Amino acid sequence: MNAASPNGGGEPVSRNIVRAEGRVTGADREAHFGHRAMTVWFTGLSGSGKSTLAFALEEALLERGVAAYVLDGDNIRFGLNRDLGFSPEDRTENIRRIGEVCRLFTDAGIVVLTAFISPYVADRDQVRAIHPDGAFVEVYVDTPLDVCEARDPKGLYVKARAGEIPDFSGISAPYEPPPSPEFTIDTSQPLDACTAQLLAALPLTTGR
């Protein structure tokens, strides 16, 4: 399945391109790194703890010799997606682009951890569809709204409640929870406990 593209379709605009295939396979990269490659996709409301948990998991994975890297929603908007806002269309394009980046990371043999609100089920499903089977792990950070709002680390809920942010997920714009994520976690519990749960659950061992 092809992900949606800015021109409204799923195919590249150019017809004068051909995919290049290298000689190093995914199995070769797994053997080199000693673990499976995958995208661990954290989704949830602002303030739910996605970035905090992703960075903690990255640190724990690196300590165990796993090649891992975090892609954070705000960080991506400073560079790759700096031309996008928060309209529904821009949100969809934001996730389409980062999904392709995640696919490249996974193909390179890396465990890539993402921290994006990614409010729409269809957008997340498109990202899953471009990954090999088993290489996309959706983690729903199901922290209650009142906890997220009490944290309000960026002061965004205050602005959203005041009507200053018109497209704020969970307040002035929709958030669609995953119907069947691989994992659901509530960061109201201690960070170390959340990290340990995910470490124990991730299918990192090679099975080829």
- pLDDT tens-digit profile of 32-69? 999 999 999 999 999 999 999 999 999 999 999 999 99
Q: What is the pLDDT of residues 142-177, one digit of tens each?
A: 999 999 999 988 899 999 999 999 889 989 889 999
CB 176 within 8 Å of CB 132: no
In single-letter form, the type of residue at position 71 comes to L
pLDDT of res. 3: 38
Higher pLDDT, 14 or 8: 14
Residue 30 has pLDDT above 80, yes or no: yes
Q: Given this model, what pLDDT does residue 206 score?
A: 63
**pLDDT class for 27, splitting at 50, 70, 90?**
confident
Reply yes or no on whether the pLDDT at 81 is more than 80.
Answer: yes
Q: State whether residue 151 is helix, strand or coil.
A: helix
Res. 112 pLDDT band, cuts 50 70 90 = very high
- Active-site residue flag, 118: yes
Cα 208 to Cα 22, 39, 178: the distances in Å are 20, 18, 29
When pLDDT is averaged across residues 168-193 and rounded to a whole number, the result is 94
Q: What is the mean pLDDT of residues 185-202?
A: 94
Which member of 118, 169, 172, 180 is catalytic? 118
Q: How far apart are CA 126 and CA 47, in angstroms?
A: 24
- The whole-chain average pLDDT of the chain stands at 90
Nearest to 95 by CA among 55, 42, 144: 42
Report the pLDDT value the prediction gives residue 14, as an integer from 0 to 100: 80
Instruction: Decide if pLDDT at 1 tops 70.
Output: no
**Percent with pLDDT over 70 in the chain:** 94
Domain 26-200 has CATH 3.40.50.300: yes
Q: Check residue 23 and give its pLDDT.
A: 87
